[in-house]
Amino acid sequence: MRSKMKRQARREGWAEGKIEGIKEGEHRGKLEVATKLLHSGIMTLPEISDVTGLSLEQVSQLQEERKATAK
């Protein structure tokens, strides 16, 4: 009984970790796309926000970080 509960808990933990990893990967992908669009200069911040699904605040922060590292 106890080993069955442990296996179930392990499976649940593994599934939760997998979901978190997928979410993190998707977020990193959005950040990468937004960074490339900022670098290209072909879109406004609101357009980048709309295309990537990131908030305008997140896109603005990326732009500020990009400016800071460019100096």
Dist. CA 34–CA 20, nearest whole Å? 21
pLDDT one-digit tens code per residue, 13-50: 888 888 899 989 999 999 999 999 999 999 999 999 99
Which single residue is written with the structure tokens 């605040």? Answer: 57
Per-residue pLDDT band for 71 (boundaries 50, 70, 90) equals low
Structure confidence at residue 32 (pLDDT): 96
Distance, CA of 41 to CA of 37 (rounded, Å)? 6
Q: Rounded to whole angstroms, how far apart are CA atoms 28 and 40?
A: 18
Asked if residue 36 lies in contact with residue 66, where contact means CB atoms within 8 angstroms, the answer is: no
d(C-alpha 31, C-alpha 29), whole Å: 5
